[in-house]
Amino acid sequence: MNEETISLGELFSILKRSKWLIASLTILAALIAFLVSSFVISPTYEASTQVLVAPKESQNNMIDSSQIQSSVTLVNTYRVIIQSPAILEQVQENVVGAPDNISNLITVNSEQNSQVINIAVQHTSPVIATDIANEISRVFSKEVPELMSVDNVKVLSDANVPMFPVKPNILLNTAIAAVLGMMIGIAIAFLKVVLDRRIKTEQDVETILELPVLGSIPVIDRVEMKKQRQANVKGEEVRV
């Protein structure tokens, strides 16, 4: 129990002695991450649109559960079609400034058992991201009747030009860098102690050299020594 208490005390002592090193590395890492995220990494914007896979109405204008389930089943097929060359090649031709790798910019997903398909596009230009997203939903809704022989896709919402970037997350990057800098500082502080093989205390002599300590020379502080000398001089003057 005593050893654990001493070891814990030594840990805090190491951290206390190295507090400036740890603080410096923490601030430096956070500052570098902030500057890189703010001025080096190009901001990325995301624009999103939604299309609805609507069930086909029957002759009596009623929609039953089987029709809804059929639409839900088609969602997975439509997600593949949206990302196919049949759609993206047209989008690339129609959107000014659209890159060749549009498929790498888009994310298509839908909630479980949902008839709504979400199309998100990320680009360094908010305008291009918006144009691509809207053009994908437009071309897709136009091509579906020819590809699937059914007209059951409607554009639910158009994409709006995003005002704020989604990447990089400056606050998150700065916080992560600060934590990493602090951990590196703590690691360096402990390594300095572990790799330091100098003998400093009586306990080090017994531990490292495995020899008993017969005696020790106390360390006298210079200030205390000066005070002692002044006291001795005054004592001699009084006796004279």
Residue 69: what are its φ and ψ, rounded to 5°?
-65, -35
C-alpha distance from residue 226 to each of 219, 229, 230, 235 (Å): 14, 5, 6, 14
Contact criterion met (CB below 8 Å) for 119 and 50: yes
Q: pTM for this structure?
A: 0.70
**Residues 6 or more apart from 84 whose CB is under 8 A from it?**
none
Write out pLDDT tens, residues 171-187: 999 999 999 999 999 99
Residue-by-residue pLDDT tens, the chain, 240 positions: 344 444 677 788 888 888 999 999 999 999 999 999 999 999 999 999 999 987 665 545 555 556 566 667 788 889 999 999 999 999 999 999 999 889 999 999 988 778 899 999 999 999 999 999 999 999 999 998 888 887 888 899 999 999 999 999 999 999 999 999 999 999 998 888 777 666 666 666 666 666 676 666 666 666 666 666 776 665 555 555
Burial of residue 91 (CB within 10 Å: 0-12, 13-18, 19+) is buried
What do you get for the CA distance between the two ends of the chain, in Å? 57
Q: Where are the domains of the chain?
A: 1-41+168-196, 45-157, 201-240
Give the model's pLDDT for residue 194: 76
Give the model's pLDDT for residue 204: 64
CATH of domain 45-157: 3.30.70.1130
Contact criterion met (CB below 8 Å) for 170 and 30: no
DSSP letters for 127-179:
HHHHHHHHHHHHHHHHHHHHHHS---EEEEE-----SS--B--HHHHHHHHHH
- What residues does 120 pair with on adjacent strands? 48, 107
Q: Which residue has the tokens 């196919």?
A: 84
